[in-house]
Amino acid sequence: MSISGKVVIITGASSGIGRATAILLAEAGATVVLGARREDALASIARDIVAAGGRAIYKATDVSVRADLEALVQLAVDEAGRLDVIVNNAGISPISRFDALRVEDWDAMIDVNLRGTLYGIAAALPVFQRQQSGHVVNVVSTAGLKIVPTMGVYAATKNAVRTISEALRQESGPHLRVTEVSPGMIATNLGDSVSDPSVRDALAARLGAIAIAPSAIARGIAFAIDQPDDVEVGSIVIRPTAQD
């Protein structure tokens, strides 16, 4: 089975990388199961996919709530009969300097970027174990590869997921594939969550100068999913050519 016929959960599917991935995989013949907090946006994307001849279902999902991810996985199984891939993509980046003491933002990044990924893994693994097949795709970041000021906590959450991905890969045996995808500067609304005006403006300027489209990441995710079952793409870094 290539992409066509697979059932794929995508979190953070209402915009950016998640939306682009949903559209691309649906065009390739997957049934996409969309999760995000904004139900109206999910409904719109699902309508567009169905109108284009694809298959999409959705459920409002807050990845910081374990029960929400369990319900999303159950929706996939109930409606499509199985689950082949979970793309843990939901993330936020209210970045700031440490001395700004935006501790609530630190907590939020831990809840969404780290706990949300763990909850997705926990929800999907029992299904994958029953099926003796499955694929976990975790969206991390180049922020964890090159540490820069203001991104300390954000990069830490992404590097924690990088560590989780490698440990899961080693534990998984021959029936579960694990892929981490590290986007660089991508033209998404991720920067909207930055509460510090000066940091937000600097990030927006940088994105405006070099950011690439979310579809670049979607193609990388699709490449990993499309490999034969005995081929695991462990790590992909996708960034603008102009990025340092």
Residue 80: the pLDDT is 97
Closest CA to 233 of 163, 179, 161: 179
Active-site residue numbers? Answer: 154
User: How far, in Å, CA of 114 to CA of 112, rounded?
Assistant: 6
Residue 15: the pLDDT is 95
Which residue type sits at 237?
V
Helix (H) / strand (E) element for 48: namely: helix 39-51
User: How far, in Å, CA of 229 to CA of 132, rounded?
Assistant: 11
For 232, phi then psi, to 5°, come to -110, 125
Helix (H) / strand (E) element for 87: namely: strand 85-88
User: How far, in Å, CA of 244 to CA of 240, rounded?
Assistant: 9
Per the CB < 8 A criterion, the answer to whether 23 and 45 are in contact is yes
Which residue type sits at 228?
P
User: How far, in Å, CA of 73 to CA of 138, rounded?
Assistant: 16
Q: What DSSP character marks residue 56? A: E
Helix (H) / strand (E) element for 160: namely: helix 152-171
Low-confidence ranges of the chain (pLDDT < 50): none
C-alpha distances in Å from residue 151, one per residue of 89, 98, 100, 141, 187? 18, 9, 12, 11, 18
User: How far, in Å, CA of 4 to CA of 29, rounded?
Assistant: 4
- Spatial neighbors of 171 by CB under 8 A, at least 6 apart, are none
Q: What is the pLDDT of residues 91-118, one digit of tens each?
A: 999 999 999 999 999 999 999 999 999 9
| Whole-angstrom Cα Rg for the chain | 17
